[in-house]
Structure 1
């Protein structure tokens, strides 16, 4: 994208503020994981947690968030990427419902035939295993998910758009061009 997506303007707010607001409608506490050295205003209603291991990618960020959730006493944590400004409370609820039944380690969204591991619910106890996985050379969240039990929730229509990642200026134009923002 060429800039920090957390502070990118989207519909009169920042992407991060929109994601935090969607999560805050369904969760008692929201943690925002910041990369080492990343600076942004703390969103209202969220606590910022710093990923203390720089340059290790999103898997270490996931670990930091899960550790924060576990330290706060939560058995589960909802994980959402900053670049999902279309995330809705309804989709958050659907994924949370997927964690409530059965015994998966993670519940992730599937849209357009593709897994979206940064739109899901994870057991906070998984944080303990992430360090070993990263030390073994695995750096991707998708790779990590191969070692745990995952339930997938398939999303369609507007729900599928809710987990759309804005990764490039073209993605932003496309989302805005469809009347999303």
Structure 2
């Protein structure tokens, strides 16, 4: 298993007034910096999916990807698809994914997801915390890229539906509740 980390930082951030979420400070550090450092402690390579591939993100990642033109504005599944395609091109078979608006994500959570995936035998694994499923905190084989693209072509942008259709195992991550602190609004960062 060759795993690439994927930081999803390409959203429209409508609830945050359209600013780039990854650059927003959380505890004095840009959210993307915090998560990239956590990924670096767990996996050897990092892809950042961003709408604005620039020097800031280039310094944090081994590779930047943007949504394919046909899928721009279609949400996190488009970033997940571009990342799967890039990871496959790099010779990697698995991605470990996290969105940039959960800056408290820990090495422990990422390692738990990877261990769950290793036990699952190639089936996607997604996090559950206190009965709430987090399909963007998970591990996916890149072989699912075609199925994901089919779902996008059909107009379905639901991440959880993609995970379920892929046979994902929901992993109890209740011991990591602080990791799922979500910063979707500027007020969440205070």
Aligned to 1:19: 35
Q: Residues 7-156 of structure 1: matches in 2 within 5 Å?
A: 7-35=23-51, 37=52, 39=54, 41-42=56-57, 43-53=59-69, 54-156=72-174
Aligned to 2:185: 168
Q: Return the TM-score normalized by structure 2.
A: 0.83
- Deviation per residue, 1:5-63 (Å, 9 max, x gap): 1110122321011111111111010000012x465612434421122231111111110
Runs of at least 5 residues in structure 2 that lack an aligned partner in the other structure: 1-15
Q: Distance in 1 between matches of 2:184 and 2:26?
A: 13
Q: How many residues align?
A: 171
- Deviation per residue, 1:100-146 (Å, 9 max, x gap): 01335311111121111111110111111111111112111112122
Aligned to 1:177: none
- Do 2:53 and 2:64's aligned partners in 1 also have CA atoms closer than 8 Å? no
Higher helix share: 2
How large is the Cα RMSD of the aligned pairs? 1.7
Q: Return the TM-score normalized by structure 1.
A: 0.87
- Do 2:113 and 2:127's aligned partners in 1 also have CA atoms closer than 8 Å? yes
Q: Distance in 1 between matches of 2:88 and 2:60?
A: 21
Of 134-143 and 91-100, the range deviating more from structure 2:
134-143
Q: Distance in 1 between matches of 2:188 and 2:124?
A: 27
Classify the secondary structure of the residue corresponding to 2:172. strand
Residue 66 of structure 1: CA displacement? 1.0
